[in-house]
Amino acid sequence: MMKICQPNDPFRILPSCWILVLLLGGIWLPFAGCRNQSSTSSQEEESHEHFPVHWPKTIFAASERMSELSKSVEATSSNPEISVEREFIDLIRWLPELAADSELSEKDFNRIDAWSAKTVLLLEEQVANGKKLKDLVELDGLISNVEMLADVCRLELDRTGSPE
């Protein structure tokens, strides 16, 4: 008689399986018992701070703040947790996202994006070397680019009629 190979008898290991489940359940359940208060409190504590304090709502706000910082090098950061240099770099880094969140054309976006990517690298290097905001704004072409961004934003505002 030919021996037919069947997969293992499913009920042979059943008792050991369920013993394992019960053991594991026994270990975990006491922890599960004291759960409700922590659940509620953790939800209540959830702060929902999705943006950093110095996040500008629009590219127009970013441009305005950058102009402000580049003109007044003694300015202080709007976020007490970071330096004004860090705020300036962050604003430039966020420009592509803010530009994408506006009606700016692809051409304008690409120009802003390219400028942002290169400038952030350069500024990071300068800040790592201990340079301050007044040194940063003196970098070749930075002020003129900030002014150019302000021009782009002004034209866009004229066209759309609102920062929204």
Q: Of 5 and 128, which CB lies nearer to another protein in the complex structure?
A: 5
Smallest separation (angstroms) from another protein to the CB of 143: 10
Q: How far apart are CA 53 and CA 48, in angstroms?
A: 13
Closest alpha carbon to 117 in 100, 134, 99, 94: 94
Q: Of 29 and 74, which CB lies nearer to another protein in the complex structure?
A: 29
Smallest separation (angstroms) from another protein to the CB of 90: 8
Smallest separation (angstroms) from another protein to the CB of 137: 13
Q: Of 74 and 138, which CB lies nearer to another protein in the complex structure?
A: 138
Q: How far apart are CA 78 and CA 65, in angstroms?
A: 10
Q: Of 20 and 132, which CB lies nearer to another protein in the complex structure?
A: 20
Smallest separation (angstroms) from another protein to the CB of 82: 12
